[in-house]
Amino acid sequence: MWVNVAKIGRQGDGGGRKPIVLTEKQIIEVEALAGYLNMQQISDYLGIDDDTFKNIRKRQVEVDSSYKKGRAKAIGGVGGNLLMKAINGDTTSQIFYLKTQAGWKDCSNEVNNKPEETKPITIINKLYKSED
Protein backbone atom coordinates (compact mmCIF):
# COMPACT_ATOMS: atom_id res chain seq x y z
CA MET A 1 0.00 0.00 0.00
CA TRP A 2 1.42 3.38 -1.03
CA VAL A 3 0.85 6.45 1.02
CA ASN A 4 1.16 9.83 -0.64
CA VAL A 5 3.16 12.14 1.56
CA ALA A 6 3.54 15.72 0.48
CA LYS A 7 7.09 17.04 0.58
CA ILE A 8 7.57 20.02 2.80
CA GLY A 9 9.88 22.70 1.42
CA ARG A 10 11.73 22.91 -1.87
CA GLN A 11 13.74 20.30 -3.70
CA GLY A 12 17.06 19.83 -1.93
CA ASP A 13 15.88 21.17 1.42
CA GLY A 14 16.69 18.92 4.31
CA GLY A 15 17.81 15.85 2.42
CA GLY A 16 21.19 14.37 1.74
CA ARG A 17 24.32 14.23 3.81
CA LYS A 18 25.31 16.95 6.15
CA PRO A 19 28.42 18.80 4.96
CA ILE A 20 31.69 17.77 6.57
CA VAL A 21 33.16 20.51 8.75
CA LEU A 22 36.80 20.24 9.80
CA THR A 23 37.61 20.69 13.47
CA GLU A 24 40.17 23.20 14.74
CA LYS A 25 42.63 20.33 15.23
CA GLN A 26 42.14 19.16 11.63
CA ILE A 27 42.62 22.71 10.33
CA ILE A 28 45.95 22.90 12.19
CA GLU A 29 46.91 19.55 10.65
CA VAL A 30 46.03 20.83 7.17
CA GLU A 31 48.41 23.76 7.66
CA ALA A 32 51.19 21.49 8.89
CA LEU A 33 50.76 19.00 6.03
CA ALA A 34 50.24 21.52 3.21
CA GLY A 35 53.96 22.15 2.78
CA TYR A 36 54.69 18.46 2.27
CA LEU A 37 51.60 16.86 0.76
CA ASN A 38 49.41 17.75 -2.19
CA MET A 39 45.63 18.15 -1.87
CA GLN A 40 44.94 14.52 -2.85
CA GLN A 41 47.31 13.27 -0.15
CA ILE A 42 45.79 15.58 2.48
CA SER A 43 42.33 14.31 1.48
CA ASP A 44 43.55 10.74 1.93
CA TYR A 45 45.02 11.66 5.33
CA LEU A 46 41.68 13.13 6.41
CA GLY A 47 39.80 10.12 5.00
CA ILE A 48 37.72 12.12 2.52
CA ASP A 49 37.47 12.44 -1.25
CA ASP A 50 39.56 15.17 -2.89
CA ASP A 51 36.40 16.85 -4.29
CA THR A 52 35.03 16.94 -0.74
CA PHE A 53 38.24 18.61 0.46
CA LYS A 54 37.95 21.20 -2.34
CA ASN A 55 34.34 21.91 -1.29
CA ILE A 56 35.40 22.22 2.36
CA ARG A 57 38.06 24.76 1.32
CA LYS A 58 35.35 26.77 -0.44
CA ARG A 59 32.92 26.57 2.52
CA GLN A 60 35.38 27.00 5.38
CA VAL A 61 37.57 29.99 4.65
CA GLU A 62 39.87 29.12 7.57
CA VAL A 63 40.69 25.73 5.98
CA ASP A 64 41.64 27.41 2.71
CA SER A 65 43.72 30.01 4.56
CA SER A 66 45.51 27.32 6.57
CA TYR A 67 46.28 25.33 3.42
CA LYS A 68 47.72 28.39 1.66
CA LYS A 69 49.65 29.47 4.76
CA GLY A 70 51.21 26.03 5.17
CA ARG A 71 52.31 25.96 1.53
CA ALA A 72 53.72 29.49 1.76
CA LYS A 73 55.71 28.66 4.91
CA ALA A 74 57.33 25.64 3.28
CA ILE A 75 58.10 27.48 0.05
CA GLY A 76 59.50 30.41 2.04
CA GLY A 77 61.75 28.09 4.06
CA VAL A 78 63.14 26.37 0.98
CA GLY A 79 63.49 29.70 -0.82
CA GLY A 80 65.35 31.18 2.13
CA ASN A 81 67.77 28.25 2.22
CA LEU A 82 68.30 28.53 -1.53
CA LEU A 83 69.01 32.24 -1.27
CA MET A 84 71.51 31.70 1.55
CA LYS A 85 73.33 29.07 -0.51
CA ALA A 86 73.40 31.47 -3.47
CA ILE A 87 74.72 34.34 -1.33
CA ASN A 88 77.40 32.08 0.14
CA GLY A 89 78.79 31.28 -3.29
CA ASP A 90 77.03 28.10 -4.45
CA THR A 91 77.05 28.68 -8.21
CA THR A 92 74.28 26.19 -8.95
CA SER A 93 72.01 27.93 -6.45
CA GLN A 94 72.91 31.32 -7.86
CA ILE A 95 72.06 30.28 -11.40
CA PHE A 96 68.83 28.57 -10.37
CA TYR A 97 67.75 31.55 -8.29
CA LEU A 98 68.45 34.05 -11.04
CA LYS A 99 66.70 31.92 -13.67
CA THR A 100 63.56 31.53 -11.57
CA GLN A 101 63.45 34.94 -9.90
CA ALA A 102 65.13 37.31 -12.33
CA GLY A 103 64.07 35.80 -15.66
CA TRP A 104 67.57 34.79 -16.71
CA LYS A 105 67.94 32.35 -19.59
CA ASP A 106 70.75 30.13 -20.79
CA CYS A 107 72.76 32.12 -23.27
CA SER A 108 76.14 30.90 -24.35
CA ASN A 109 78.90 32.85 -25.99
CA GLU A 110 79.47 31.31 -29.42
CA VAL A 111 83.23 32.01 -29.30
CA ASN A 112 84.10 30.19 -26.08
CA ASN A 113 80.78 28.59 -25.00
CA LYS A 114 81.00 30.15 -21.51
CA PRO A 115 77.78 31.32 -19.88
CA GLU A 116 77.52 35.10 -19.78
CA GLU A 117 76.05 34.94 -16.25
CA THR A 118 79.29 34.88 -14.25
CA LYS A 119 79.91 38.62 -13.91
CA PRO A 120 76.45 39.58 -12.58
CA ILE A 121 76.56 36.70 -10.08
CA THR A 122 79.87 38.01 -8.74
CA ILE A 123 78.36 41.50 -8.42
CA ILE A 124 75.35 40.12 -6.54
CA ASN A 125 77.65 38.24 -4.15
CA LYS A 126 79.58 41.44 -3.43
CA LEU A 127 76.36 43.39 -2.79
CA TYR A 128 75.00 40.85 -0.29
CA LYS A 129 78.32 40.29 1.47
CA SER A 130 78.91 44.03 1.89
CA GLU A 131 75.64 44.33 3.87
CA ASP A 132 76.90 41.96 6.62
What amino acid is encoded at 102 in this protein? A
Least confident span in 12-16, 47-51, 75-79:
12-16
Comparing CA positions, the residue from 32, 20, 123, 22 lying closest to residue 69 is 32
Is the pLDDT reported for residue 28 higher than 70?
A: yes
| Distance separating alpha carbons of residues 63 and 74, to the nearest angstrom | 17
pTM of the model: 0.67
Q: With pLDDT > 90 as the criterion, what percentage of the chain qualifies?
A: 65
| Distance separating alpha carbons of residues 88 and 80, to the nearest angstrom | 12
Could you tell me the pLDDT band of residue 78, with boundaries at 50, 70 and 90? Answer: very high
